[in-house]
Amino acid sequence: MEKLPKVTIPVIITIIILIIVLAKSAVTIGSGEAGVLYKTFDNGVVTDKPPLGEGFHIVAPWNKVIVYEVRQQEILEKMNVLSSNGLDIKLEASVWFQPDFKNLGKLHQEKSEMYKERVLLPAIRSAARSVVGRYTPEQLYSSKRDAIQQEIFEETKKIVEDQYIQLNEVLVRDVTLPPTIKDAIERKLKQEQESLEYEFRLVTAAKEAEKVIIEAQGKAESNRILSASLTDKILQDKGIDATMKLAESPNSKVIVIGSGDSGLPIILGNQ
């Protein structure tokens, strides 16, 4: 009985050590994540192999695994920029990005887990200032927002493409102008709209007047042609035809008295 504790204590110690080693060696990478392996006694960060993927991994207890989120992420940035004429503009943009999975080791080695603050945000600020500085407040307020968004995306992408960051999209969510400038632009746009509406009414009225003139000219030309074609002989023949039709009517009592100036009979009815 006295020997039992002497045997049990080493076993317990061994089990504890194994548990500690296992806890230090076992790494679980979650969904949408990847792990960068750091070898304490072998040149540090592993950059020549793919990072550890999702799931359970066993590593040496003296090594470390730094876990990164590799799914698409969003970062919202609000900044003050200057327009082409030096006015202060407030710009709000969303950036969709994710770390380059294949080069995650290099990203950690060169930029660390602070890569968003050290690389991405300065890049988006620099691109936004560069792009917005090419446009006037009027252009920023109205027609150029989509073009500005695309240009900011392209310039930011150029900056971060060799920094192991995958840029997916840049969305300009809001552009805020100084109140006085905004009011002036809105008044100008309203005046331009009213001017366009007035011009449209003028063009419509001119087209209607032209239509009336054309119709009148058509009627006048038709009457002229008709008058030129109606000779006395034609009128006399038409009168005879009409007289014959009236005479053949069963409901009419026709009395012919002499003839008219045109040589046609004068017809009286039931009156």
Looking at the domain assignment, is residue 21 inside a domain?
yes
Q: What is the pLDDT along the chain (271 residues), one digit of tens a residue?
A: 454 455 577 767 777 766 666 666 788 899 999 999 999 888 889 998 999 999 988 888 888 999 999 999 999 999 888 888 788 888 899 999 999 999 999 999 999 999 999 999 999 999 999 998 888 877 777 667 788 889 999 999 999 989 999 999 999 988 888 776 656 665 666 666 667 776 777 788 788 878 888 887 887 777 677 666 666 666 566 666 666 666 666 655 554 544 555 555 555 555 4
Percent helix, percent strand, percent coil in the chain, to nearest 5: 50, 25, 25
Displacement of CA 215 from its chain's centroid (Å): 47
Among 11, 45, 69, identify where a domain stops: 69
What CATH number corresponds to the domain at position 123? 3.30.479.30
Range of the domain at 260: 240-268
> Same structural domain for residues 173 and 78?
yes
- With tokens 């020549």, the residue in question is 48
Q: Would the pTM count as exceeding 0.75?
A: no
> Same structural domain for residues 101 and 158?
yes
Which 3 state secondary structure label does DSSP give 242?
A: helix
Distance CA 151, CA 158 (A): 11
Both tokens assigned to 153: 């995306």
Both tokens assigned to 114: 């602070």
User: From start to end of the chain, where are the E strands?
Assistant: 26-29, 33-39, 44-45, 55-58, 64-69, 73-82, 88-99, 165-176, 255-257, 266-268
